[in-house]
């Protein structure tokens, strides 16, 4: 893992918002990726619209500021509808450190709490194809931006709904790159269970 990503992850875990009151939130989630765009040559139609699993750990103050570490994995990201099965296996993995800007609890109380989120981290793309020359093995700097809402059902449990745009911010286009497209980008929509500590 690149040093800059390790440093960012450590900051997210150990930094603390300035507000005196803050909650740790553990959020396992399920969702899906959609609207993919890539310069990688993908031999199958329908690639990118896949199930995503992951989780977030957040430190959220009762004011505006919060920090989050977010992990997501999308198996079969580059596999589509081709009956020939030219893509043998694939996945996209993200590990992001994010800043959360939430509506303060003084306004929302314990009802639905909207937020904006953005940050950067690791975007890892892997694909093994029947034609080995088209294999994808890239570790990229990724950026993400999105929005969502957290609603607590009880003091310790709740739900989170979230949409994010994730994009590669580094990397070199390969010899078969499609001109005018992002090296790799996609949207991710998720729903998760919030466990507050």
Percent of the chain with pLDDT over 70: 78
In angstroms, rounded to a whole number, what is the distance separating the alpha carbons of residues 60 and 68? 8
Q: Taking the domains of the chain in order of start, what are their residue ranges?
A: 3-196
Span 121-155, pLDDT tens digits = 999 999 888 777 678 888 999 999 999 999 999 99
Asked whether 193 and 152 are in contact (CB, 8 A), the reply is: no
Q: For the chain, give the mean pLDDT.
A: 84
Span 17-66, pLDDT tens digits = 444 488 999 999 999 999 988 877 766 666 667 899 999 999 999 999 99
Q: What pLDDT, on a 0 to 100 scale, did the predictor assign at position 48?
A: 64
Predicted model pTM? 0.82
- 79 versus 26: the higher-pLDDT residue is 26
Span 90-102, pLDDT tens digits = 899 999 999 999 9
Q: Which candidate, 155, 152, 158, 157, places its Cα nearest to that of 111?
A: 152
Half-sphere exposure of residue 4, counting CA atoms within 13 Å on the CB side? Answer: 8
CATH for the 3-196 domain, from 2.20.25.90, 3.60.150.10, 2.40.160.20, 1.10.150.120: 2.40.160.20
| Three-point CA angle 67, 93, 59, nearest 5° | 15
């Amino acid at each position: 893992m690149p040093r800059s990503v390790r440093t960012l992850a450590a900051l997210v875990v150990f930094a603390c918002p300035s507000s005196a009151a803050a909650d740790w939130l553990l959020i396992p989630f399920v969702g899906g990726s959609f609207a993919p765009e890539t310069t990688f040559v993908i031999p199958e139609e329908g690639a990118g619209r896949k199930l995503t699993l992951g989780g977030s750990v957040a430190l959220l103050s009762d004011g505006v500021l919060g920090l989050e570490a977010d992990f997501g994995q999308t198996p079969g990201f580059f596999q589509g509808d081709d009956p020939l099965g030219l893509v043998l296996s694939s996945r996209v993995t993200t590990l992001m450190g994010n800043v959360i800007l939430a509506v303060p609890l003084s306004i929302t109380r314990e009802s639905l709490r909207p937020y904006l989120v953005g940050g950067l981290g690791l975007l890892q793309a892997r694909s093994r194809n029947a034609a080995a020359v088209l294999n994808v093995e890239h570790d990229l700097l990724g950026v993400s931006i999105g929005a969502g809402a957290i609603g607590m059902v009880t003091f310790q449990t709740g739900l989170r709904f979230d949409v994010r745009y994730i994009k590669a911010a580094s990397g070199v286009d390969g010899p078969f790159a499609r001109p005018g497209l992002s090296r790799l980008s996609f949207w991710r929509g998720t729903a998760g269970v919030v466990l507050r500590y």
